[in-house]
Amino acid sequence: MKIATWNVNSLNVRLEQVIEWLNKHQPDVLALQELKQEQNKFPINEFTKINYNAAWLGQKTYNGVALICKDEISDIVYGMTNFTDEQSRVISATYRNIRFICVYCVNGESIDSEKFIYKQQWFDALNQHIIHEKNRYDNCVVLGDFNIAPADIDVYDPQKWQGKILCSDIERECFCRMLALGFSDSIRELSKEKQLFTWWDYRMNSFRRNLGMRIDHILLTPQLMQCANDFGVDTEQRAQERPSDHAPVWIECNW
């Protein structure tokens, strides 16, 4: 099984790129973030044409998440359990007896802002939602744009970013608490000590200079992690014309 995640930063702009990527790489599951589309504007027909099903939660202009799958999707949950959020950031669904939770986590803006307080509250709610889903399913995958670089190796210049948004101790502790629910950071475990990035700012010619961060993650429960045998970050996609600022991230499991 091939599992992928990609913050597309507007599906309206990058639908053709997504369809081409699906046709080329044939993942079983592709989680998308930042659709930036209203619910009734999602281009479901474009996915069914290439034999994919989809579950999505849209929002005009901002946010939006989707799960694109080769076979039937069931038990779809929109948003988080017991947490009212006007922002479309989480969708959960079952595919081949695996629970997939696609997340577009809060950015937080800056560590001295009200949005950062909201980010912490949001992650607390996400953990409760994950606990609820794990109680229902033995095998779970949490994947998407977490807006957290878990460690210094995940940042091009750790000293420059020390204590700042995406890299603060508070955010990294949020990430660790999520792993403590019974997950592995699959890309880090498979890549060992190799530095790799999944996001590069549009500014400062960041991609060509490789000034990036690893903030897109695929978390696996133990049985799935034992089956994981390959991974990749598709930097070729980030090098295309009018790209998203994120690259697709994928793993393969013998499942």
Average pLDDT score over residue span 4-32: 98
Count how many domains the chain has: 1
- Concerning whether 62 is annotated as a catalytic residue, the answer is no
Q: Give Cα separations from 35 to 42, 43, 206, 239 (angstroms).
A: 8, 11, 23, 20
pLDDT computed for residue 99 by the predictor: 98
> For 206-222, what is each residue's pLDDT tens digit?
999 999 999 999 999 99
Report, as an integer, the average pLDDT of 47-61: 98
The pLDDT value given to residue 184: 98
Catalytic-labelled residue, pool 28, 95, 145, 216: 145
pLDDT at position 31:
99
Active-site pick, 28, 95, 104, 245:
104
Q: What is the pLDDT of residues 165-206, one digit of tens each?
A: 999 999 999 999 999 999 999 999 999 999 999 999 999 999
* Per-residue model confidence (pLDDT) at position 57: 98
CATH number of the domain where residue 139 is located: 3.60.10.10
Residue 209 has what pLDDT?
Answer: 97
Q: What pLDDT shows up at residue 241?
A: 94
Rounded Cα distance, 240 and 229, in Å: 28
Domain hosting residue 51, numbered range: 2-253
Residue 197: per-residue pLDDT: 98
Per-residue pLDDT, 132? 97
199 within 8 A of 234, measured Cβ to Cβ: no
Q: Which two tokens stand for residue 248?
A: 């697709």
pLDDT value for 178: 98
Can 75 be counted among the known catalytic residues?
no
Instruction: Please state the rounded mean pLDDT for residues 234-247.
Output: 97
20 C-beta neighbours (distance < 10 Å), count: 14
The candidate with the shortest Cα–Cα distance to 208, out of 184, 248, 235, 234, is 235
pLDDT, tens digit, for every residue of 81-118? 989 999 999 999 999 999 999 999 999 999 999 999 99
Question: Residues 59-70: pLDDT tens digits?
Answer: 999 999 999 999
> Region 22-43: what's the mean pLDDT?
98
Segment 35-48 shows an average pLDDT of 98
Q: Which of 79, 31, 35 is nearest to 216 (CA)?
A: 31
Q: What are phi and psi of 182, to 5 degrees?
A: 120, 40
